[in-house]
Amino acid sequence: MAVTYSTSVNRFGHAVWAITLREFRNRYGTRRLGLFWAFVEPTAYVFVFSVLMSALRSTTSPLGIHIAPFIAMGIMSYMMFNAVEGFVRGALRSNKSLLSFPRIKPIDIYVGRLIMEVATLVVVFLCMFSLFVLTGLANAPSEPARLLLPLALSVVLGFAVGIINSTLIAIFKAWENIYSVASRLNFFTSGIFFIADGMPTEIQRMLYYQPLLHISEWVRSAWFGHFESRFLDRFYLIMTVSVALLLALLLERTFRKNVLNKI
């Protein structure tokens, strides 16, 4: 083929950029309340669970700080995975017409959506934690850069699982229902409400295979100088995320035909 490597990278860049901007416009340009709704979900989670937890136990979290920022950290770790997964999973379905442009391949749409959703989440959680710091409910992290890796891993895992799901659903429709039931478990096992070290050893052993719990433990360890999770296995997490991404790209390439013809 006459298309060189650099042209191909260049085209990929243009396609992703065009899709990203379209996604932003689609979500925030037409409805005036678009950005407001992006804030509602995480804020509502944090509010409801903080009130519940303080009614059931106390307003102090296992780490000594107020319960609200503690839960917010868990929600942030969880949503970086879950929201990205959901948006990537639905990416092709809601951009079906764009696939008829010869320059646009499914991966461009996945990546465009990824960028849009990550940018949204970054803005939302920056605002939320700025508020916590300003009101004195939490201290700013001493080394914010340490948060980048665990959050990036959460995003990449969401991206990979989103692509895997999008592909599997095209082949086997019922997968969507199975996944959405099974993934409810993530909410309760990903450490939004607890830290792993406080759990009985039996449960810790079972939850070892939940990558999302490693992510939230890592985020909290990175935030607080005085807390270092004993549960966290960084190597296991990085391996899981890498394998998931590899599997996602392999599946996407292998079943691209089926996905394109089903969508």
Partner 1 sequence: MIRFENAVKRYTSRGESKWILRGLNMELPRGRSIGILGYNGAGKSTLIRMISGAEEPDFGTIHRDLKISWPLGFGGSIAGNMSGHDACMFVSRLYDMDPHRVIHFVQDFSELGPYFFEATSSYSSGMKARLTFGLSMAVDFDCYLVDEITAVGDSRFKAKCLAAFNERRKYADIIMVSHSEKTIRDYCDMGAILADGELTLYDDLDQAMSLYREMMEQ
* Shortest Å, Cβ 165 to partner 1: 21
Q: Is residue 9 close enough to count as binding partner 1 by CB under 8 A?
A: no
Nearer to partner 1 among residue 2 and residue 181 (C-beta): 2
Which x/- pattern, by CB under 8 A, does the window 70-109 give for partner 1?
-------------------------x-xxxxxxxx-----
* Shortest Å, Cβ 31 to partner 1: 10
Let me know: does 162 contact 84? Beta carbons within 8 Å: yes
Nearer to partner 1 among residue 3 and residue 174 (C-beta): 3
The footprint of partner 1 on residues 30-49 (CB under 8 A) is 30
* Three-state secondary structure call for residue 60: strand
Please choose, out of 50-58, 164-172, 207-215, 252-260, the segment that lies near partner 1 by the rule CB under 8 A.
252-260
Unique residue bearing structure tokens 């959506």: 113
Q: Is residue 201 close enough to count as binding partner 1 by CB under 8 A?
A: no
Task: Give the integer Cα–Cα distance in Å for 198 and 195.
Answer: 6
Burial of 115 (0-12, 13-18, 19+ CB in 10 A): middle
Please choose, out of 17-25, 33-41, 178-186, 240-248, the segment that lies near partner 1 by the rule CB under 8 A.
17-25
Task: Give the integer Cα–Cα distance in Å for 109 and 262.
Answer: 16
Burial of 194 (0-12, 13-18, 19+ CB in 10 A): buried
Binder to partner 1 among 1, 33, 55, 182 (CB under 8 A)?
1
For residue 36, the Cα-to-chain-centroid distance in whole angstroms is 19
Task: Give the integer Cα–Cα distance in Å for 211 and 239.
Answer: 10
Question: Which positions lie near partner 1, rule CB under 8 A?
Answer: 1-3, 10, 14-15, 17-18, 21-22, 25-26, 30, 95, 97-104, 256-257, 260-261
